């Protein structure tokens, strides 16, 4: 049974979503604050973390940063009612793997959590349909999908999220092919809008710097890696 840590300062939210995840087969532990979430993460060792963003004291962003400082692979998903693009971008930049609204359909929330766990397990095992290479070359950067890190020629490194690594693995699985947004979403297990994927890839390219220029988009065709 996969273990899920759910953190939200509202008791009714913890009860509602905790019951939903438990009914879906997860072993659920709840936390009422960011501080509790960080402590529970170390003790409970969950397979996935679901965090509210706006909590008093230590908020979800800080909790995510603390969790990422100790462990890179466990997926962290923000489940929030906060529709703020700047906060969403902050969350993704500090290591969150997904950002889902509390008002989203139950089936979508469960699907996103399930796919995040599957991606993490796939990367940890070094396998998967998109290839199990030890490193993936993107421009001048060498991507280690097991460690979720990009290494550059000068020896510097940049941490990637599970979702960013999964996107690279999809594009690298066939470098001669353009991948339409809908196909990338299908492989990620998402049902989002194209603009969400564009923002994810934009953040990924920014992290990779000059190497990110190897990820290109062609209008009407989709994305591919050119080098």
Span 11-23, pLDDT tens digits: 999 999 999 999 9
DSSP the chain: --EEEEE-S-HHHHHHHHHHHHHTT-EEEEESSHHHHHHHHHHH--SEEEE-S--SSS-HHHHHHHHHHH-SSS-EEEEES---HHHHHHHHHTT--EEEETTS-HHHHHHHHHHHHHHHHHHHHT--TT---S-EEETTEEEETTTTEEE-TTS-EEE--HHHHHHHHHHHT-TTS-B-HHHHHHHHT----HHHHHHHHHHHHHHHGGGGGGEEEETTTEEEE--
Whether the model clears a pTM of 0.75, i.e. scores above it, the answer is no
Q: What is the dihedral of CA 160, 166, 171, 172, to 10 degrees?
A: 80
Given a cut of 50, is residue 47 above it in pLDDT?
Answer: yes
Cα–Cα distance measured from residue 187 to residue 168, given in angstroms and rounded to the nearest whole number: 12
Residue 166 confidence (pLDDT): 87
Residue 203 confidence (pLDDT): 84
Residue 161 confidence (pLDDT): 81
Given a cut of 80, is residue 4 above it in pLDDT?
Answer: yes
Residue 60 confidence (pLDDT): 92
The CATH code for residues 3-125 is 3.40.50.2300
The per-residue pLDDT for range 150-201, each reduced to its tens digit, is 999 999 999 888 888 889 999 999 998 999 988 888 887 665 555 577 878 9
Average pLDDT over residues 77-89: 72
Strands 3-7 and 27-31: parallel
Q: Which of 4-8, 49-53, 144-148 has the lowest mean pLDDT?
A: 144-148
Any idea which architecture 136-225 has in CATH?
Orthogonal Bundle (1.10)
In the chain, where the domains are located: 3-125, 136-225
């Amino acid at each position: 049974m996969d273990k899920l840590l759910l953190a939200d300062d509202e008791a009714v939210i913890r009860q509602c979503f905790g019951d939903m995840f438990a009914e879906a087969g997860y072993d659920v532990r709840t936390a009422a604050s960011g501080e509790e979430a960080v402590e529970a993460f170390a003790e409970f060792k969950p397979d996935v973390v679901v965090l509210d963003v706006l909590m008093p004291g230590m908020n979800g962003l800080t909790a995510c940063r603390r969790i990422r400082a100790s462990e890179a692979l466990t997926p962290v998903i923000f489940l929030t009612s906060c529709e703020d693009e700047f906060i969403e971008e902050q969350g993704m930049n500090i290591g969150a793997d997904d950002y889902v609204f509390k008002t989203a359909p139950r089936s979508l929330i469960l699907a996103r959590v399930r796919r995040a766990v599957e991606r993490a397990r796939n990367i940890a095992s070094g396998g998967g349909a998109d290839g199990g290479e030890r490193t993936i070359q993107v421009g001048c950067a060498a991507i280690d999908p097991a460690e979720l890190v990009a290494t550059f020629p000068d020896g510097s490194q940049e941490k990637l999220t599970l979702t960013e690594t999964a996107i690279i693995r999809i594009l690298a699985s066939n470098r001669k092919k353009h991948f339409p947004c809908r196909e990338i979403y299908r492989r990620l297990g998402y049902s989002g809008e194209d603009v969400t994927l564009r923002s994810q890839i934009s953040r990924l390219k920014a992290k990779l710097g000059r190497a990110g220029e190897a990820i290109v988009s062609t209008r009407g065709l989709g994305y591919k890696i050119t080098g």
